[in-house]
Amino acid sequence: MTSIEFRRHIHRHPELSFQEYNTQAFILEALRAEGIECRVVAGTGVLAKIEGERGNLKRAVVLRADIDALPIVEQNAVEYCSEREGVMHACGHDMHAAMLYGVLCRFKRERNFEGTLFGVFQPGEEVNPGGASKVLAENPFEGYDVAMVIGQHVDARLNIGEVGICPGVFMASNDELRFYVSGRGGHAARRADIDDTVSAIADMVVRTTSLNGPDAVVSVGKIVAEGATNVIPAEAYAEGTMRTFDREERERIYALLDANARAVEERYGVALRVDISRGYPSVTNDVMLAYEAMIVASDEGIVVREMGRIPMAEDFGYYTERYPALFYRLGVGAESGGSHTATFLPDERAMEYGERMMWRMALHILNK
């Protein structure tokens, strides 16, 4: 099976986070057909292993691809369009998985390398707590000296044949914010007899978005207050997202959110509960590995774009907390469209570069 055939099958049969049972079965069957040792990991994921022909087999490199899809109705007119209504690979995870499959097949054919190569087809990247945390909770690399974890993500802002690499902190941590306000509802004209929950939630939203800065993104995307022109509801609700690049900044904003909630309670006489669903840590690339990757890419004829920090989040951050790691962006061209949209369709010509980059970098580290 070719990588493109692999990709199109997964694209045609997308599954949501932690529901990737058929995807898992397909990957297991495809790997076993190539003689690659593999097993289940993190419930609906797959862990593959290939041992080299020489060297210390306890020294390892880990390659990771995510496999979950999104709840989006696909609008692409291609013969491999999603056959599952309301579910689509709108973030390129089908290509990530296919490129990993292609790299593993190449390593299986060409086992003239040192150490052990692992491949993780990871479930649940799109939702908290993130499938990476579930993979690592099983300690699948216990007893191995992991020299590097490698991940990649398609990016329409880069041209085909380009990779974007950022040494150091690259992608933000992400947290989900929810604010619950409760008080005495009632007739909007009887101000003395009510607690203005609507003004309270609005004040909390303004205080929250005022925390935006160069190193933090704090946004509120949903507000619910089921009142009427003359009715103040007893409850109001808001939710949003928070992105930071630094642990100390993250904790500082947590404290400020709590302080703002207490100030709103005192001003409006309401109860305000702040619920923070802590998400992925920031993705922090090993600086030396990032620069080595730039050299490797250039040697392979791949154009390198040095990138700065971006406020998107990725649960690959869990790997970067535990092991030396590199996460880079793979160009698929502007015509691929925007990720997380109904018409996102990464150009398959980019897969050759993604496979070559991942294979060459892994081989470089294994044979050091």
- Do 144 and 8 belong together in one domain? yes
pLDDT at position 236 is: 98
Whole-number average pLDDT of the chain: 97
Q: Report whether pLDDT(253) > 90.
A: yes
3-state DSSP assignment of residue 7:
helix
- Do 186 and 143 belong together in one domain? no
Give mean pLDDT, residues 5-33.
98
Kindly state whether residue 80 falls inside one of the protein's structural domains.
yes
Instruction: Give the CA distances from residue 80 to residues 8, 9, 96, 208, 252, in Å, rounded to whole numbers and listed in that order.
Output: 6, 7, 17, 43, 47
Q: Report whether pLDDT(153) > 90.
A: yes
Number of domains the chain is built from: 2
Boundary (domain end) residue, out of 278, 307, 342: 278
Copy the structure tokens of residue 132: 């990476």
d(CA 82, CA 70): 11
357: left (phi over 0), alpha (psi -120 to 50) or beta: alpha
Give mean pLDDT, residues 126-153.
96
CATH code, domain with 214:
3.30.70.360
- Do 155 and 50 belong together in one domain? yes
> Minimum mean pLDDT among 121-125, 129-133, 213-217, 293-297: which range?
213-217
Give mean pLDDT, residues 236-247.
96
- Do 198 and 263 belong together in one domain? yes
pLDDT at position 366 is: 96
Kindly state whether residue 299 falls inside one of the protein's structural domains.
no
Full residue range of the structural domain in which residue 196 is found: 172-278
d(CA 198, CA 122): 42
- Do 86 and 210 belong together in one domain? no
Q: Long-range contacts: 334-338, Cβ < 8 Å, 24+?
A: 334/156, 334/157, 334/159, 335/156, 336/154, 336/156, 337/156, 338/156
Kindly state whether residue 311 falls inside one of the protein's structural domains.
no
- Do 207 and 346 belong together in one domain? no
- Do 15 and 131 belong together in one domain? yes
Q: How confident is the model at residue 128 (pLDDT cuts 50, 70, 90)?
A: confident
d(CA 119, CA 50): 8
- Do 198 and 134 belong together in one domain? no
Kindly state whether residue 12 falls inside one of the protein's structural domains.
yes
Boundary (domain end) residue, out of 261, 278, 295: 278
Give mean pLDDT, residues 286-297.
97
- Do 70 and 153 belong together in one domain? yes
3-state DSSP assignment of residue 275:
strand
d(CA 68, CA 45): 10
- Do 208 and 132 belong together in one domain? no
pLDDT at position 183 is: 97
To which residue do tokens 């892994």 refer? 362
| Residue partners of 33: CB distance under 8 A and separation at least 6 | 1
d(CA 364, CA 368): 6
**Percentage of the residues of the chain whose pLDDT score is greater than 70:** 100
Q: Report whether pLDDT(129) > 90.
A: no
Global confidence as pTM: 0.92
Which ranges constitute the DSSP H helices of the chain?
Answer: 3-12, 21-33, 93-109, 131-137, 197-209, 247-268, 287-299, 317-322, 351-366
Kindly state whether residue 325 falls inside one of the protein's structural domains.
no
**Percentage of the residues of the chain whose pLDDT score is greater than 90:** 98
Boundary (domain end) residue, out of 239, 255, 278: 278
pLDDT for 70-111, tens place per residue?
999 999 999 999 999 999 999 999 999 999 999 999 999 999
pLDDT at position 238 is: 98
pLDDT at position 368 is: 84
- Do 152 and 179 belong together in one domain? no
- Do 130 and 60 belong together in one domain? yes
Could you tell me if 308 and 166 are in contact, meaning their C-beta atoms sit under 8 angstroms apart?
A: yes
Copy the structure tokens of residue 88: 């689509």
CATH code, domain with 346:
3.40.630.10
pLDDT at position 35 is: 97
pLDDT at position 289 is: 97
d(CA 333, CA 311): 21
3-state DSSP assignment of residue 217:
strand
